Amino acid sequence: MNISVALFGAIFFISFLLTMVGLGGGLIFSPLFVILGFTKSAAASASLFLNLVAAGSAAYAYARKKMVDFSLSIPLIVSSALAAPVGSFLNVRIALGPFLLVMAAVLAAAGLRMLFSPQGQDEESYLAPWKKMAGGIVIGACIGLLGGLLGIGGGVFVVPLLIYVLKTPTKIAAASSTFIVCFSSLTGFLGYVSMEAINWWFILPAAVASFAGGQAGARLMSTRLKGKTIRVLFSLVLFALCARLLHQYFA
């Protein structure tokens, strides 16, 4: 296990970059820690904790600026939590190969859609409260199902679905996503706490870097970045996840 000042710097930068697009850093933390020699369980537990800290830090900053849509986020959180075990149940009962290819193609298409979004994408679109709640429930169920089925954080699906299905402005979608990501990270981390010892000597100092990165990313996004820039950055995340699914298929 290789822990150095450079690693804490990397944690800060990853948290800084991904909180700007509505994530916490877990997509990068876990594989990075495995490469550095962490066991799979230690990498996953540290990744979830740092994901929670970065997303929570950013969500707090976004909420203070009234950028988090709680009426949409809370129904989504509840339905995704209920659907995730169903995805895990299906994971061991269906052939994932063809599904991975289809999902990779969907992510690539979504990445291209976000990369070449037309002008006016960030205009406010009013939805009746019941439509917003119903949409959040349906999207949450889809995200929980996909996350449990693929064994990845469902947060990466939140932003594009909020933008293109519920017509949520990009900044509101990204800000709300950080709030949503906190809950899946927390429940996942508590699962590891109940099963094994946690390396607090590493994750607590690392959490300081993650918290600072989340604050910096949220402040930059809320004041400087335009919706188009956020969508371009998020499209790169989708392409990276697409590549990961293809690697999982061909490995």
DSSP result, the chain: ----HHHHHHHHHHHHHHHTTT--SHHHHHHHHHHTT--HHHHHHHHHHHHHHHHHHHHHHHHHTT---HHHHHHHHHHHHHHHHHHHHHHTTS-HHHHHHHHHHHHHHHHHHHHTPPTTTTS-----HHHHHHHHHHHHHHHHHHHHHHTS-THHHHHHHHHHTS---HHHHHHHHHHHHHHHHHHHHHHHHHHS---HHHHHHHHHHHHHHHHHHHHHHHHT--HHHHHHHHHHHHHHHHHHHHHHHH-
Q: Return the percentage of the chain with pLDDT > 90, whole number.
A: 29
According to the model, what pLDDT value does residue 179 have? 93
Domain residue limits at 97: 5-250
Record the pTM.
Answer: 0.83
Could you tell me which of 27, 33, 82 has the C-alpha nearest to residue 54? 27
According to the model, what pLDDT value does residue 60 have? 95
Count of structural domains within the chain? 1
Residue 126 identity (one-letter amino acid): Y
Q: Exposure pattern of 217-248 as b/e (b: 16+ CB <10 Å)?
A: bbbebbeebebeebbbbbbebbbebbebbbee
Residue 176: band (very low, low, confident or very high) from pLDDT cuts 50, 70, 90: very high
According to the model, what pLDDT value does residue 2 have? 52
Using alpha carbons only, how large is the chain's radius of gyration in Å?
17
Q: What is the pLDDT of residues 200-243, one digit of tens each?
A: 999 999 999 999 999 999 999 999 888 888 888 989 988 988 89
Name residues whose C-beta falls within 8 Å of residue 133's C-beta, 6 or more positions apart in sequence. 71, 72, 75
